[in-house]
């Protein structure tokens, strides 16, 4: 598990280290700058035969981010790499900035004020130390011109850009561009990756991201001292492996039973994709409730499945009772349509409060259209899987507002409905209203029909196996994205299908 921080939490981490534990700010700054300069020396060594011929410029604002940049220049010069300083700040600067500037001047490091004649294109590497994570306003005027000059040098292909902590102009909280932003080839960020670097468009401006230890106090101390620290995180393969454990002495009943209610008339593909993914997850038994016309297709494609069917206008409440008793988890919505039968199915699932329930696609559209109020409980957790437009229908917020405030939108809805919200986008957010998981697996090839059906089946299988509902939601999103990456590697992003993703789940879990 890798912790992520937004600007507020990172400032609290910084303050805790300095004020409560007495680590001087300049010590943290020196550690941070050493990390950046060491990274630069590494990439210079990997890409250049003669380091002495390399020219670097550190473009420095007048805040602590600029002070970091000045320290980087000093350290590079100490190691035989020519590094100029260009000052772009319009104020006297912070105490740390004035200190670092004074040291650089006394050492005779070349230091100029920016003007319209400054040509960043003459440098091999540009260090962006203009603004740090504290930026909260739109960049205009002179600063916008400077950032454009940095980007122009990069676009010509003569210069590589290394951002200090975060590329200037990106919101450290949500990845939005504050008017204009530096396009970095590399970002060296301190302590913890930032949510603004994870979310798009910030992610596409950040290049390759390196997280370095800048000397802050340890995680266990921060958990107890900094409110909210550790509540935002992402997974890696070790986390997935920790949760995926099977028993040598087991049978199909050991790994749970899931009921998937999917596929209205002539929409059997959604049921097939969901059921396939559920079985690929490792669950023991999958039962599909689908429209009668889908039965033959389901039997041909998924002979492992148990099948129940319904007809239009058929009373369902009594028929569902045995299926609900049998299942450990219930998923409803993929390809279900929005007719009367679908609405009845959705209401019946919501009323069953002793099971984990996954609400997807048309089940969510029915809830939005009919203004159905619901809440999960400790005995019957509810997991919802809306994409941006479905979330807009559920909340009444615009898609643009939700996309700009992914974490806040998902948390607010999760708290209101006592549910686990999986808000799907290029960076999917999973939250129970307190903890927030941000997924970094997957690719644009997953923008294809049926991909959400696969995720629903995967979640249904994971929860049926007895995993904690929140952990199952996070793990399913992670594995789903990894399967998408595996499918893209074999089929290409343009040519891959949802069925390829479902099949790839087995290979991902094997690894």
pLDDT of residue 240: 78
- 17-227 has which CATH code? 3.40.50.10260
The token pair at 482 is 């990894």
210 CB-near residues (< 8 Å, 6+ apart): 39, 186, 187, 188, 189
- Residue 351 banded pLDDT, cuts 50, 70, 90: very high
pLDDT of residue 91: 86
Q: Per-residue pLDDT tens for 150-187?
A: 999 999 998 999 999 999 999 999 999 999 999 999 99
Alpha carbons 447 and 336: distance in angstroms, whole number: 20
In the sheet where 208-212 sits, what is the strand order? Answer: 111-113, 82-87, 55-60, 125-129, 160-164, 186-190, 208-212
Residue 224 has pLDDT above 90, yes or no: yes
Q: Per-residue pLDDT tens for 316-336?
A: 777 788 999 999 999 999 999
Residue 402 has pLDDT above 70, yes or no: yes
Average pLDDT over residues 36-46: 95
CA angle 237, 242, 247 (to 5 degrees): 130
Alpha carbons 162 and 427: distance in angstroms, whole number: 23
Average pLDDT over residues 211-235: 96
Residue extents of the structural domains in the chain: 17-227, 251-510
The token pair at 443 is 């690719």
Residue 247 has pLDDT above 90, yes or no: no
Q: Per-residue pLDDT tens for 52-98?
A: 689 999 999 999 999 999 999 999 999 999 999 999 998 899 999 99
Of residues 410 and 51, which shows the higher confidence score? Answer: 410
Q: Per-residue pLDDT tens for 107-136?
A: 999 899 999 889 999 999 999 999 999 998
310 CB-side CA count, 13 A: 23
Please give the CATH architecture assigned to the domain spanning 251-510. Answer: 3-Layer(aba) Sandwich (3.40)
pLDDT of residue 49: 66
- Which of 3, 426, 385 lies closest to 175, judged by CA? 426
- Which of 12, 3, 122, 128 lies closest to 65, judged by CA? 128
Alpha carbons 188 and 38: distance in angstroms, whole number: 10
- Which of 52, 106, 62 lies closest to 86, judged by CA? 62
Percent of residues, the chain, with pLDDT higher than 90? 90
- Residue 51 banded pLDDT, cuts 50, 70, 90: low
Alpha carbons 429 and 431: distance in angstroms, whole number: 7
Q: Per-residue pLDDT tens for 200-215?
A: 999 999 999 999 999 9
pLDDT of residue 69: 98
The token pair at 124 is 């091999």
């Amino acid at each position: 598990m890798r912790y992520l921080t937004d600007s507020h939490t990172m400032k609290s981490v910084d303050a805790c280290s300095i004020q409560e534990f007495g680590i001087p700010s300049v010590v943290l700054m020196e550690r941070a700058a050493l990390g950046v300069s060491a990274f630069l020396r590494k990439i210079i060594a990997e890409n250049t035969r003669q380091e002495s011929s390399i020219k670097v410029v550190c473009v420095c604002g007048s805040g602590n981010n600029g002070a970091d940049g000045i320290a980087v220049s000093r350290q590079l010069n100490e190691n035989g790499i020519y590094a100029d300083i260009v000052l772009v700040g319009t104020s006297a600067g912070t105490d740390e900035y004035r200190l670092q500037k004074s040291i650089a001047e006394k050492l005779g490091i070349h230091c100029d004020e920016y003007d319209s004649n400054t040509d960043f294109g003459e440098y091999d590497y540009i260090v962006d130390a203009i603004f740090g994570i504290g930026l909260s306003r739109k960049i205009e005027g002179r600063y916008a011109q400077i950032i454009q000059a940095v980007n122009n040098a990069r676009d010509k292909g003569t210069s590589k850009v290394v951002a200090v902590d975060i590329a200037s102009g990106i919101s450290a909280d949500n990845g939005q561009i504050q008017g204009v932003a530096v396009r970095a080839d590399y970002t060296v960020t301190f302590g913890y990756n930032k949510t603004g670097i994870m979310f798009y468009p910030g992610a596409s401006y950040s290049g390759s991201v390196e997280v370095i230890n800048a000397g802050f106090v340890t995680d266990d101390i921060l958990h107890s001292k900094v409110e909210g620290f550790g509540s935002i995180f992402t997974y890696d393969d070790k986390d997935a492996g920790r949760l995926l454990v099977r028993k040598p002495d087991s049978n199909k009943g050991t790994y749970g039973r899931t009921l998937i209610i999917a596929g209205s008339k002539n929409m059997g593909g959604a049921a097939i994709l969901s059921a396939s993914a559920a079985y690929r997850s490792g669950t023991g038994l999958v039962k599909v409730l689908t429209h009668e016309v889908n039965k033959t297709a389901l039997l041909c494609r998924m002979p492992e499945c148990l099948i129940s069917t319904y007809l239009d206008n058929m009373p369902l409440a009594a028929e569902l009772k045995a299926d609900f008793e049998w299942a450990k988890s219930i998923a409803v919505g993929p390809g279900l349509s929005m007719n009367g039968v679908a609405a009845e199915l959705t209401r019946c699932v919501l009323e069953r409060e002793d099971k984990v329930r996954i609400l997807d696609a048309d089940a969510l559209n029915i809830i939005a259209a009919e203004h159905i109020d619901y809440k999960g409980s400790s005995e019957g957790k509810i997991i919802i899987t809306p994409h941006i437009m479905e979330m807009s229908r559920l909340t009444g917020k615009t898609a643009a507002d939700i996309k700009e405030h992914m974490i806040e939108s998902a948390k607010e809805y999760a708290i209101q409905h006592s549910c686990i919200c999986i808000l799907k986008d290029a960076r999917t957010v999973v939250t129970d209203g307190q903890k927030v998981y941000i997924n970094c697996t997957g690719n644009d090839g997953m923008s294809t029909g049926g991909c959400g059906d696969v995720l629903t089946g995967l979640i249904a299988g994971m929860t049926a196996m007895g995993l904690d509902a929140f952990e199952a939601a996070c793990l399913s999103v992670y594995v789903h994205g990894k399967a998408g990456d595996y499918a893209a590697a074999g089929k290409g992003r343009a040519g891959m299908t949802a069925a390829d993703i479902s099949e790839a789940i087995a290979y991902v879990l094997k690894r």
